[in-house]
Amino acid sequence: MSDETIHEDIDEDIDEAADAKALETAAAKLRAFEDDVFGKDVPRINGAIERGVGSAFAKMTDHQKAHHAALENLVAAEKAVADATAAHAKAHAEHAAAEKKAADAEKAASESE
């Protein structure tokens, strides 16, 4: 194997890792942050970190709290984009169905004359 081939393979592996990281969901990023800061065994209520007085969440630094809040906002924004994308696709499908129905009705009307 040539030196150039080895470098190309390494570059491809780096590109694949970068692509995988870019595809990581906001929820996965939030979970990874929480696992890193609180540990994997931190108490969760309905999947969310416990935030009461004396909890691990309450003991975070201001920077950690800001980072956590930013990730939570990212999760909400990602969900909003997914919901909007689904609504957009549904609207296009309904529009296409309505166009077909209108075209079929126009064809039926012209044939009956």
Non-local CB neighbours of 34 within 8 Å, separated by 6+ positions: 42, 49, 68
Domain count, the chain: 1
Pairwise CA distance, residues 3 & 12, whole Å: 14
Query: Which structural domain, as residue segments, surrounds residue 43?
Result: 3-112
Pairwise CA distance, residues 39 & 32, whole Å: 9
CB 37 within 8 A of CB 60: yes
Predicted TM-score (pTM) of this structure: 0.66
CA 40 to chain centre: 21
pLDDT tens digits, one per residue of 19-58 = 566 558 999 999 999 999 999 988 888 988 988 888 999 9
